[in-house]
Amino acid sequence: MKLARWLMGLGIMATLLTVNSPMANAAGNSQQKNYLLIGTDTGVDSLNPLVGLAQDSYNMWEQIYPQLVQYNPKGLSFVADFGKSWTHSTNGLTWTFQTTPSSKWSDGKPLTAKDVAWTYNTIIKFKTSSTASLAGGVTNMASAVAISSNTVVIKYSKPTSDVLANLQQLPILPEHVWAKYAVGNGAGLKTFPNKPTPGNPVVSGGPFMNTSFVLNQQAIFLANPNFYGPKPHISGFGLQVFSNDDAMVEALKTGQIDAIENVPVTSVKVIKAAAFHVFVGPSLTWRDLIINPVQNKTTDRELLNPNVRKAFEYAVDRKTIVKTAWLGYATPAASAIPPATGIWHDPAIHPLPFNLTLANQLLNQAGYKKGSNGIRTANGHPMSYQVIFSSDQNGPGDRAFQIIQTDFRKIGVQLTQQVLDPAATQTAITANHYRNYNLAMWFWVPLVDPSLMLSAYTCSQYDSWNDSGLCTPALDKLYQEQSSALNLTQRVKLVYQAQELIYNSRAEIALVNNDVIDAWSSKWTGLVETPQGFFNQLSKIDLEQVRLK
């Protein structure tokens, strides 16, 4: 998830719109003149919200499933979604939501509070197995009961400060579709492909329904006629996947697509020159270098040495990465909670300065001497490591790796890049309970509230959402305390402490916070940007109000 990962995508095949593609046919249909076509270099990796890792998958689930609440993209405060109003008890243990009456799923079946209760109780039941990726959303939740078709009562075991933030990330699933998979150990919940068939879209409750999906190529969505909220102004939208940046930009310039999410930094000037609208702003996305922190790691245990990890950070030239890899469309990063989260980001956490002299000194003090080839030896073996590299960060990510690789060579450490698709990356990192990997590079796209990001470092997400293997009682305690702190000042203090602990562990060295860069044709209006871009997992509002001029 990430929170997913809120930054996970796919290894992509090169594709271009052709007159025979389903999306081109949809766009050319006389009934689809206001169909928004979005170019992406990631795409949807699974239609099952218990399986998918790609950021576009999370963005899609926001559009096809109800959530009780959503963010207002302009102010990032919580507003109504399927839950039209809510109250809570004085002690914070009971939350009551009134849902939108007379609602239906896209197949015409009733959409009620019963679906909400069933979804949440199912996540609770299987939270250590098949629903682990959504378990953060039910933190401290004891039960959910539909006391009427339009009222759901949620009970918590302790006061919980981030209830609305947690519920915003939970897709409400149609019980009549999913219940048959929630039997036994719940394994069927993860094997259910949830794919459309001709004439039968994925059963949806949000403003859109998925009607066609081709892995690594495209996903097509049409407006849901049974949506409980404001009817979208567009008849549908589609995601077209590109592996070639130039091809994606050319498709925008020639009108084959209408917009690009996450514009390649190398294409910004070209798109601006072609008179398209380009938005650049701070994002929630941050890039990282992961160093295995697992204490029972059996090989290359020198990486557990705090001074080695510190030396590695000294050898990261963030300023050059910003300038060369991201062409200035990023800022140096240090914390797991990015500045775009507002009050939750601790401004006192600063990255170590780039200093190869200090890096070499620390490695010398550790007793790891350089050989004739310039590579150090630690515990009888060369300090030569494979870096697992998720393919969804190609381009700037590749250039960032090359910069790090060059500088690490200067401190006697040799890195090689092992490119894997996101699913394989997760598998390689978590294999044998994190004991096999040494280093990795990936990225996160967290939410505004810090809980989900912090949960990714807890022991409860071991072998699941946790992508480094960091697991400490101290961090677990801070996570639980901030989640239960109803006083805002106290909660901010606890979140800052958690950030400091993560930073000092150097399980993940934050590299940069890259900007949101989106572009679209001037014939479209109504798109409102968020720190996750215009196509995001925060709100349905953008795609409800976008329209042709």
- DSSP secondary structure letters along 270-287: HHHHTT-EEEEE--S-EE
pLDDT single digits (tens) 129-185:
999 989 989 989 999 999 999 999 999 999 999 999 999 999 999 999 999 999 999
Q: Report whether pLDDT(82) > 70.
A: yes
What is the residue whose two structure tokens read 């329209």?
547
What single-letter amino acid sits at 523? K
What is the residue whose two structure tokens read 């800052």?
496
Phi, psi for residue 40 in degrees, rounded to 5: -145, 155
Q: Judge residue 170's burial from the number of C-beta atoms within 10 Å of its C-beta, 0-12 exposed, 13-18 middle, 19 or more buried.
A: buried
The three-state secondary structure class of 42 is coil
pLDDT single digits (tens) 405-435:
999 999 999 999 999 988 899 999 999 999 9
CA dihedral 34, 35, 36, 40 (to 10 degrees): -160
Q: 3-state DSSP: the chain helix, strand, coil percent, rounded to 5? A: 35, 20, 45
Residue range 208-231: average pLDDT? 96
Whole-number Å distance between alpha carbons of 506 and 249: 37
pLDDT band of 498, cuts 50, 70, 90? very high
Q: Quick one: CA dihedral 391, 501, 329, 314, positive or negative?
A: negative
Instruction: Return the pLDDT at 53.
Output: 83
What is the residue whose two structure tokens read 């994925």?
202
Number of H helices, E strands in the chain: 17, 23
Residue range 350-363: average pLDDT? 98
Q: Report whether pLDDT(21) > 80.
A: no
Contact of 491 with 92, CB cutoff 8 Å: no
Q: Which residues of 61-81 are buried (b: 16+ CB within 10 A; e: fewer)?
A: bbbbbbbbbbbebeebebebb
Cα radius of gyration rounded to whole Å, the chain: 23
pLDDT single digits (tens) 102-145:
999 999 999 999 999 999 999 999 999 999 989 989 989 999 99
Residue range 433-444: average pLDDT? 95
CA proximity to 318, closest of 512, 506, 504, 515: 512
Pairing of strands 508-514, 286-291: antiparallel
pLDDT band of 73, cuts 50, 70, 90? confident
Q: Judge residue 484's burial from the number of C-beta atoms within 10 Å of its C-beta, 0-12 exposed, 13-18 middle, 19 or more buried.
A: buried
Whole-number Å distance between alpha carbons of 124 and 139: 9
What is the residue whose two structure tokens read 């990356």?
425
Contact of 285 with 338, CB cutoff 8 Å: yes
Please report, rounded to a whole number, the percentage of residues in the chain having pLDDT higher than 90: 85
pLDDT single digits (tens) 514-544:
999 999 999 999 998 999 999 999 999 989 9
Phi, psi for residue 373 in degrees, rounded to 5: -90, 5
Q: Measured between alpha carbons, how far is residue 447 from residues 115, 174, 342, 453 in Å?
A: 24, 25, 11, 7
Q: Residue 27 has which token pair?
A: 């766009």
CA 142 from centre of chain: 26
What is the residue whose two structure tokens read 């598998």?
427
Instruction: Return the pLDDT at 12.
Output: 27
Whole-number Å distance between alpha carbons of 321 and 318: 5
Global confidence as pTM: 0.87
CA proximity to 334, closest of 179, 496, 458, 524: 496
Report the alpha-carbon angle 442-448-449, nearest 5. Answer: 105
List of E strands, 2-150: 35-40, 69-71, 78-80, 83-88, 94-99, 141-148
Maximum distance among all Cα pairs of the chain, rounded to whole angstroms:
76
How many Cα atoms are found within 13 Å in the side-chain-facing hemisphere of 356? 11
CA proximity to 166, closest of 466, 485, 449, 445: 449
Q: Measured between alpha carbons, how far is residue 166 from residues 69, 79, 128, 139, 169 in Å?
A: 10, 14, 17, 8, 6
Q: Report whether pLDDT(18) > 50.
A: no
Q: Report whether pLDDT(403) > 70.
A: yes
Whole-number Å distance between alpha carbons of 493 and 105: 42
Q: Residue 210 has which token pair?
A: 């998925």
Q: Measured between alpha carbons, how far is residue 126 from residues 114, 331, 458, 517 in Å?
A: 18, 39, 18, 38
Q: Residue 446 has which token pair?
A: 């967290």
Q: Residue 459 has which token pair?
A: 């022991």
Pairing of strands 78-80, 547-548: unpaired
Instruction: Return the pLDDT at 351.
Output: 96
pLDDT single digits (tens) 271-284:
999 999 999 999 99
Whole-number Å distance between alpha carbons of 338 and 341: 6
